[in-house]
Amino acid sequence: MTDEPLLRVSALSKFYGSRVGCDNVSFDLWPGEVLAVVGESGSGKTTLLNCLSTRLLPSSGTASYRMRDGQFRELYRMSEAERRFLMRTDWGFVHQNPADGLRMTVSAGANVGERLMAVGDRHYGKIRATAVDWLSRVEIDEDRIDDEPRAFSGGMRQRLQIARNLVTGPRLVFMDEPTGGLDVSVQARLLDLLRGLVTDLGLAAIVVTHDLAVARLLSQRMMVMKDGRVIESGLTDRVLDDPRAPYTQLLVSSILQV
């Protein structure tokens, strides 16, 4: 870990008219760190994620990102072209619904290769070899490379989406409920895979989830949101084992025990 954060967020707020999306959120994210954002539906988790990934512009506040050259750039002052370039090179975004993050009508190989071609790769053989490599890393058989994601199961689609995002070697990945809608055994394998990839590649990630078990498995640090505000944050183990805010205590005690 270096002595400078990757992302600095300060007093970020987003209002939808008079309604609050997220209010006055500040934190630093360090390289290689996984931060979980938890809270119930409507607590502002996804709004926060969309603001950070510049898919939404916040009403106020700043976020600056340390580029590969070591310089901090303020996200909301970058041109759209720069933001979109960042989005397809240094960042990844894993959607809850893989159909939102994949091109459903082109083959798995092309889905993985698209980012490479977008940054100027023009050698078919190399693109395909990289795609094969990434499919195997996310445990998709090589002979599925020319199949469309439409023919994939939910878990495979989600793994394909992850491969598509990681192929350019991003440093920061945003995940919105990456395991939502998957059954528990598929979920477990996906989490295992994600944990492995994050560790191997030294990725920083911001994971939005309402599933505290996912947060415990993946993240080192955690923020709990309610009504658009961060009510508690700290090391994941600390927050889950010793919740301080009454709402966090309620949340933790609401976990179903099997």
Partner 1 sequence: MTDIATYNFAYLDEQTKRMIRRAILKGIAIPGYQVPFASREMPMPYGWGTGGVQVTASIIGPDDVLKVIDQGADDTTNAVSIRAFFKKVANVAVTTDTGSATIIQTRHRIPEHPLTAGQVLVYQVPIPEPLRFLEPRETETRKMHALEEYGLMHVKLYEDIARHGRIATTYAYPVKVEGRYVMDPSPTPKFDNPKMHRSPALQLFGAGREKRIYAVPPFTSVVSLDFEDHPFEVQTFDQPCALCAAENVYLDEVILDDHGGHMFVCSDTDHCEKRREEGHRGHLASETHLAPGNMEPAQ
Q: How far is the CB of 163 from partner 1 (least distance, A)?
A: 15
Q: Residue 244 interacts with partner 1 (CB under 8 A)?
A: no
Site map for partner 1, 90-109, x if CB under 8 A? -------------x--xx-x
DSSP the chain: --SS-SEEEEEEEEEETTEEEEEEEEEEE-TT-EEEEE--TTSSHHHHHHHHTTSS--SEEEEEEE-TTS-EEEGGGS-HHHHHHHHHHTEEEE-SSHHHHS-TTS-HHHHHHHHHHHTT---HHHHHHHHHHHHHHTT--GGGTTS-GGGS-HHHHHHHHHHHHHTT--SEEEEESTTTT--HHHHHHHHHHHHHHHHHHT-EEEEEES-HHHHHHH-SEEEEEETTEEEEEEEHHHHHHS--SHHHHHHHHTSPP-
Q: Cα separation of 25 and 159, whole Å?
A: 30
Q: Min. distance of Cβ 13 from partner 1 in angstroms? A: 27
Looking at the Cβ atoms of 43 and 111, the one nearer to partner 1 is 111
The answer to the question of residue 143 lying near partner 1 (CB under 8 A) is: no
- Cα–Cα dist 218/199, whole Å: 10
| Least gap, CB of 184 to partner 1 (angstroms) | 34
- Shortest distance (Å) from residue 134 CB to partner 1: 15
Question: What is the nearest approach in angstroms of partner 1 to the Cβ of residue 117?
Answer: 4
Single residue of 127, 206, 217, 230 touching partner 1 by CB under 8 A: 127
Return the structure tokens found at 138: 């996310």
Least spacing, CB of residue 158 vs partner 1, in Å? 21
> Is residue 122 a contact point for partner 1 (CB under 8 A)?
yes
Judged by CB under 8 A, the chain residues 5 through 64 that form the site for partner 1 are: none
Q: Which residue has the tokens 């240094």?
A: 90
Q: Which of 68, 69, 81, 256 binds partner 1 (CB under 8 A)?
A: 81
Interacting residues with partner 1 between 153 and 212 (CB under 8 A)? none
Residue from 13, 61, 94, 114 touching partner 1 (CB under 8 A): that is: 114
User: Nearest distance from residue 227's CB to partner 1, in Å?
Assistant: 33
* By the rule CB under 8 A, 123 interacts with partner 1: yes
Binding site for partner 1 (CB under 8 A): 80-81, 84, 88, 103, 106-107, 109-110, 113-115, 117-119, 122-125, 127-128, 145-146
